Copies of this chain bind each other. A is one copy, B any other.
Amino acid sequence: METNSPTSHSYFSEEDSVEAVVSRMGDKSDARLKTVMASAIRHLHAFIKEVEPTNAEWMTALEFLTRTGQMCNEWRQEWILLSDVLGVSMLVDAINNRKPSGATETTVLGPFHVSGAPRYANGANICLEDKGEPLVVSGRVMDTDGKPVAGALLDVWQANEDGFYDVQQKGIQPDYNLRGIFATDINGRFWFRSIKPRFYPIPNDGPVGQLLEKLGRHPNRPAHIHFIVGAEGYQPVTTHIFAPDCPYLGSDAVFGVKESLIADFRLVDNPTGARELGFSNPFVAVSWDFVLARK
């Protein structure tokens, strides 16, 4: 840290505002942090110069940013939500997943993944309450050459019939409702039972919800199931599969939809199959194959 003498320094001005701030960083600070902050300062000042906020407008912005932090707690991350609804989470995801052609595409993790979900045998039903349309999910995990990947792990989670994850309804939903970890068999196959996902609003009782409302945007995410799929020697994939018939598919509040992630959720009329699955007839089925790229 140094104190510049007054004479060695020109004071802050509107014209040289970026240089005034960027030049203040010390020689010994972390090079990556300096690069990131110099870029942040340049873009932030360009934004301010473009919109020329009044003092009152800038104070309103600072109050919004303050409330966004104050809304966060152990179960709620409003800043991730803000990043999500401004398309930044998907942009960071895109930048970090320029994968070899053929691997399953990625999408946002979202704020509701939890570690330590139960490990189940294939065929288990992850829906621990008596709600929703029965669904069977099956498929394979393959490498980019189309060869099955045995022993791949699939970490699965989704919202319930009312549009909430278990962690949003502690004491209302069973713990670990609609979560589970499955492994592929020797042929790369997995299957499990669940319920058909539904669209739901992102938590919209905070600053981010208020912003969306003021912008004339709805808070809904189209119906989807979350997956993290990984295997030894392969790059893990954080992704969703989406139901094709959801009215919000074209306007996901967090921009997570990709064409290649829209699955075929079929209504199956098969009384014998239903009986074998312990389902009422008809039920819903979806087949989905994941493709992993080698590390």
Residues of chain A whose beta carbon lies under 8 Å from any beta carbon of chain B: 1-9, 11-14, 17-18, 20-21, 24-30, 33-37, 39-41, 43-55, 57-58, 62-63, 65-70, 72, 77-80, 83, 86-96, 214-218, 220, 244, 247-251, 255-259
Q: For A250, list chain B residues within 8 Å (CB).
A: 3-9
Report whether A1 and B216 are in contact in the complex, using a CB–CB cutoff of 8 Å. Answer: yes
Q: For A13, list chain B residues within 8 Å (CB).
A: 94
Cα distance, A262 to B47, chains bound together (Å): 30
Report whether B41 and A214 are in contact in the complex, using a CB–CB cutoff of 8 Å. Answer: no
Q: For A18, list chain B residues within 8 Å (CB).
A: 87
Q: For A49, list chain B residues within 8 Å (CB).
A: 91, 95
CB distance from A186 to the nearest CB of B (A): 32
The residue of chain B having its C-beta at the shortest distance from the C-beta of A95 within the complex is B52
Report whether B58 and A66 are in contact in the complex, using a CB–CB cutoff of 8 Å. Answer: no
Report whether A92 and B1 are in contact in the complex, using a CB–CB cutoff of 8 Å. Answer: no
Cα distance, A93 to B11, chains bound together (Å): 14
Some 23 contacts from A to B, beta carbons below 8 A apart, are: A1-B217, A3-B248, A4-B251, A5-B247, A5-B250, A9-B250, A9-B251, A17-B87, A17-B91, A21-B87, A24-B215, A26-B217, A29-B214, A39-B51, A44-B88, A48-B91, A48-B95, A53-B92, A58-B83, A65-B68, A65-B69, A68-B69, A69-B72
